[in-house]
Structure 1
Amino acid sequence: MATERLDVIIFGASGFTGKYTVYEAVSVLKDLKWGIAGRNRAKLQEVLKEMGAKAKKDLSQTPIFIADVNDEASLLNMAKSCRIVVNTAGPYRFFGENVVRACINAGTHHVDVSGEPQYMETMQLKYNELAKERGVYVISACGFDSIPADMGIVFVEKNFDGVVNSVETFLVSGVKDEKNASDSKAGLNTGTWQSAVYGLAHADELRGIRQKLYPERLPKFFPILKHRPLIFRSREINKVCLPFPGSDRSVVMRSQRFLYDTEKKRPVQMHAYIGFSSWLAAIFVALFATIFALMAKFEFGRTLLLKYPSFFSGGFVSPEGPSESRMERSYFKMTMKATGWPSSQRLAESTDQYTEPPTKTLMVRVSGPNPGYGSTCVALLSTAVTILRESNKMPGNGGVLPPGAAFSKTSLISELEKHEHGIKFEILANK
């Protein structure tokens, strides 16, 4: 075991997301000292062998640390052995808090790919002040949930040349050559499915958490961004759309709240949607989501969903996860429509209210390959690199923060665009 403190340790490296994070680390962390951690040394060694072969690099000398979420001493030892822990061990509702606490106690930064609002906001409520005291950054939602949306709005505001009132996001994802493919239809590993089941089951907890986290409501800014219909055809992407049920909006609004509280910046309003190729596909997904949500609310339904994920997802979820071929062919595109006012109409104070409707529009696209296990892993590692290299550009000395709040003044977007499985940010139209 290495005695010198490493830059990065990837925790949960033998899990599905973890092993692909190890693969991406070969390029993203190439100038840093890194290791891996988990419960089982043999499995960790197998990951190094498998991902080393895939990356065409000998990883056999990569430091290995044995750490278990139920053994706080082992977690503390791991955290003390590096400058930042990259945590891929979910569902974070069950396995995240002990790792966060160990990192804060060790004075070690922490990033993860949680898309679980209850976990993220609970960590902020319980540990934000302690993290600031210890000079530790704890940042969740550093993967597909919700780097494209949160950093996409950062990109929008940097390029808007004015004041942004609202942003609507329209997500499309898919697999190239789907009709001709002969491999498995699985697109997700069961870990993501479990997080969704438990997240919906305990969604009612969020109200109480948020009342404690934000006892004072944000002031209303006008015009208020209205919700689109439950199902509609979007002219922006020419797709039939539904509200996007992921964590993007909750993460974005936490970033906007932070920037309002600390900088008195006018918060951007945001709604998120997901697009489908036809009305039939959208209606089918809406029905599936309704049944899934109802089942997740009751113990018997949750048991069935967790025991038979492949059946209830129509084969989309499996313990083995998606095939290599399917991952390589998968992609996402998030179109963002921002409206607001040009700089010539900027008000004296950011908290002043406009009396005229928005007159300026900016269209942006955020896109990338393999959102589940390519772009996600690159984004996660890129946030770690950015903390290590640019903490002087981050707010305060630490805290439990969403990505947009943490990285708005850093070069994270440039870092994301550098890598093969990274994320691209581009302007489509500026009117």
Structure 2
Amino acid sequence: MSEKLDVIIFGASGFTGKYTVFEAVTVLQNYRWGIAGRSREKLEIVLKDMGAKAQKNLKDIPIIIADVENEASLLAMANRCRVLVNCCGPYRFFGEPVVRACLEAGTHHVDVSGEPQYMETMQLKYNKQAQERKVYIISACGFDSIPADIGIIFIEKNFDGVVNSVECYLRSYSKGGSTGGARIHYGTWESAVYGLAHSNELRAIRSKLYSEKLPKFHPVLKHRPLIFRSEIVNNICLPFPGSDRSVVMRSQRFLYEHDHKRPVQMHAYVTFKSWITAVLVALLAVSFGLLTKFSFGRQLLLKYPKFFSLGFASREGPSEANMERTHFSFIMRANGWSNSDRLVEPTDQYADPPSKTLTVKVSGTNPGYGATCVALLSTAVTILKESEKMPGSGGVLPPGAAFAKTSLISELEKYEHGIKFEILANK
């Protein structure tokens, strides 16, 4: 049998996969890695194109043929590596067979899913088996939801007290001219369509996953109005529709149950410069949500992504120039109490309102296909380097729970398309 690799990138000929290969040239330079997918010809083209882009000869990178419809090929692939980086989505359709193969092979698994139903179903079905097999299965290791989930870990490490709540504000902007084209690829759009269409499944999944509710902590972090101007970022804001909050709350529940730590409350918002833009986006979001509830509406959304997203999504995906001009920042404002006010038990309630704040910024470039790919590979590297600092011996976990005690933040900050964490204000 061929020598076991440290990492295999599965789905490497897809849109996210090929840029993960590009970032692997740097992030995995000290590791043995390979790529996998259905077509050798397409995989060879990816190695040639991404090698030219990175100015590296990648012809000796191993190629593994694997197909989600062929379980034997998935198991053979999983047996070839220590960590499988899964770029083959939508995960609702293609993720579970890969997870099963990794569990059988005893191979760790990371992916960039932003699909709560998939992530929580995997936890419900396979968490015990993952613990028994000493395997980590970790989703949301990209733009959804590393900045938010690891951002709160960064906040708690620097708060010097007890955090009650965090409000998170996402800003995405273009430098050096108008992007004038798609921002996301069709695969991401497809995941969003099916995720929202089946969002009603979450209640039943969570009722099985969590037999007990978390205790309520005071003061409760209230939802802001649907559209509002935030004094924190001085922009017009809407609720952020991504999976960040659900991922963060899974991590916070885990840390409460396993580390006896008071859970942090969190709400996430997306920012706009004008009321007009925010209102238009809100109307588009309502239309999108309604269409996902009907088969005919979903067909329209999937057939005409560019039209229904106002050019934000397309089958071709964004150009490299557009991706490189796109920047993002999460401004995260935490409220809580100083160490001098710390209570004995995490379930104790404070009599006084929060008296301390910390504001941090989590930022980067090319969120969808640069920072996401670096983050995904960085989680794989962290498992290889620091599994002894991760909880237990395995499990199906969100990134905040999995990497809270590791040096993932330092790993993320190393690279051109990495993610930067900084403190803006500490009062």
Q: Same fold (TM over 0.5)?
A: yes
What displacement does 1:102 show?
0.2
- Greater Cα shift, 212-221 or 347-356: 347-356
- Looking at structure 2, the residues matched to 332 and 177 of structure 1 have their Cα atoms a distance apart, in angstroms, of 14
Q: What secondary structure, in the 3-state scheme, does the structure 1 residue paired with 2:288 have?
A: helix
> Are 1:7 and 2:6 counterparts?
yes
Aligned to 1:381, which of 346, 371, 377? 377
> Are 1:191 and 2:187 counterparts?
yes
Which residue of the partner structure matches residue 334 of structure 1?
330
Which residue of the partner structure matches residue 272 of structure 1?
268
Q: What secondary structure, in the 3-state scheme, does the structure 2 residue paired with 1:204 have?
A: helix
Which residue of the partner structure matches residue 39 of structure 2?
40
Alignment of 1:227-306 (within 5 A): 227-306=223-302
- Looking at structure 2, the residues matched to 387 and 277 of structure 1 have their Cα atoms a distance apart, in angstroms, of 40
Count of aligned positions: 427
Q: Structure 2 unaligned segments of length 5 or more: list them.
A: none
- Looking at structure 1, the residues matched to 273 and 38 of structure 2 have their Cα atoms a distance apart, in angstroms, of 43
Letter in 2 for 1:163: V
- Looking at structure 1, the residues matched to 346 and 129 of structure 2 have their Cα atoms a distance apart, in angstroms, of 30
Aligned to 1:409, which of 405, 410, 414? 405
What displacement does 1:348 show?
1.2
What displacement does 1:178 show?
3.6
- Looking at structure 1, the residues matched to 189 and 176 of structure 2 have their Cα atoms a distance apart, in angstroms, of 25
Which residue of the partner structure matches residue 56 of structure 2?
57
What displacement does 1:171 show?
0.4
Q: What secondary structure, in the 3-state scheme, does the structure 2 residue paired with 1:150 have?
A: helix
What displacement does 1:408 show?
0.2
What displacement does 1:291 show?
0.0
What displacement does 1:424 show?
0.2
**CA offset digits 1:287-322 (Å, max 9, x no partner):** 000000000010000000001111111222111111
- Looking at structure 1, the residues matched to 39 and 367 of structure 2 have their Cα atoms a distance apart, in angstroms, of 27
Letter in 1 for 2:54: A
Which residue of the partner structure matches residue 125 of structure 1?
124
Q: What secondary structure, in the 3-state scheme, does the structure 1 residue paired with 2:261 have?
A: coil
Q: What secondary structure, in the 3-state scheme, does the structure 2 residue paired with 1:9 have?
A: strand
Letter in 2 for 1:177: G
TM-score (norm 1): 0.98
> Are 1:80 and 2:79 counterparts?
yes
What displacement does 1:235 show?
1.1
What displacement does 1:176 show?
1.4
Letter in 2 for 1:408: A
What displacement does 1:177 show?
3.1
- Looking at structure 2, the residues matched to 170 and 31 of structure 1 have their Cα atoms a distance apart, in angstroms, of 36
> Are 1:427 and 2:426 counterparts?
no
RMSD across aligned positions (CA) = 0.8
- Looking at structure 1, the residues matched to 304 and 237 of structure 2 have their Cα atoms a distance apart, in angstroms, of 28
- Looking at structure 2, the residues matched to 313 and 356 of structure 1 have their Cα atoms a distance apart, in angstroms, of 46
- Looking at structure 2, the residues matched to 44 and 140 of structure 1 have their Cα atoms a distance apart, in angstroms, of 24
Which residue of the partner structure matches residue 27 of structure 1?
26
Letter in 2 for 1:194: E
Q: What secondary structure, in the 3-state scheme, does the structure 1 residue paired with 2:238 have?
A: strand
Alignment of 1:139-150 (within 5 A): 139-150=138-149
- Looking at structure 2, the residues matched to 396 and 94 of structure 1 have their Cα atoms a distance apart, in angstroms, of 29
> Are 1:311 and 2:307 counterparts?
yes
> Are 1:345 and 2:341 counterparts?
yes
TM-score (norm 2): 0.99
- Looking at structure 1, the residues matched to 145 and 311 of structure 2 have their Cα atoms a distance apart, in angstroms, of 25
Q: What secondary structure, in the 3-state scheme, does the structure 1 residue paired with 2:199 have?
A: coil
Which residue of the partner structure matches residue 153 of structure 1?
152
- Looking at structure 2, the residues matched to 21 and 348 of structure 1 have their Cα atoms a distance apart, in angstroms, of 45
- Looking at structure 2, the residues matched to 334 and 429 of structure 1 have their Cα atoms a distance apart, in angstroms, of 14
Which residue of the partner structure matches residue 98 of structure 1?
97
- Looking at structure 1, the residues matched to 326 and 236 of structure 2 have their Cα atoms a distance apart, in angstroms, of 20
Letter in 2 for 1:342: S
**CA offset digits 1:11-33 (Å, max 9, x no partner):** 00000000000000000000000
> Are 1:354 and 2:353 counterparts?
no
Runs of 4+ in 1 over 3 A off after TM superposition: none
- Greater Cα shift, 406-415 or 233-242: 233-242
